[in-house]
Structure 1
Amino acid sequence: GVPQTDIDKRLFWDEATNYFEFHYKVLVKNDLKGQRLIALRNICKSNRDFNLHVSHNEFKQTDENDFHYMVTMRLFHVGREKAFEQNDEVIKYLTTKNFPPLKVVREFIVYDTHIELDKEWK
């Protein structure tokens, strides 16, 4: 099953291709000039503990002023317990920075066929 502890992860799972991934759906309102998006990207870059990445789906725009963005965190070296603790910390962090997640998706990646596409994530 999914590694519960950091030791389980190190002993039984591949460091490079098995990881926990969390997706945080964030609403950026009234951002015609892109200033809130810049703020969100800066918030994600500034906290190196979380290694957060921002992406956007053009098809998920709510209206001409409001946009949904996906903030993603990948954790390669921890078990489920630590991953879920870090997830809680990210939710608090984004919320205190005025980007509360509308939805959180949690995954454990068993096999990533194209891990090389995301080298900077490690």
Structure 2
Amino acid sequence: MGVASWHTHKNRAIQSALIRLRSGHNKLNGTISKWDMDIQPECPHGCPEIENSTHVLLHCPHYSAARRELKHEIEKLKLPFDVPTLTGVNFSIPKHTQEKIAKSLINFITSSKIIERI
């Protein structure tokens, strides 16, 4: 998959969160429930869906207000609003555009406090 420059952020917490979102190995309920039988995989915000990277980045209504700016940036760039685009796995996107997306994604995960759960 390779490593884009924005995957190596100077802030360790942000770098870890980006890698965890990209890989799917995170501390969200969908992942934790695989080894801890006491944790339910559903979203803790009342959604019936499994809480995973796709759910928190794209669908969870709890984060919809914080997601607006991120979604607006992706739409402005005329790119698909999907996990590969957001996490830098879509390598058809030029490097300078990926950096814009990364800034918006970092703003989203920090302002919504998702970073504390990833």
**Superposition TM-score tier, normalisation by shorter sequence:** 0.3 to 0.5
Task: Provide TM-score, normalisation by structure 2.
Answer: 0.36
Q: Which has the higher helix share?
A: 2
Bigger radius of gyration among the two: 1
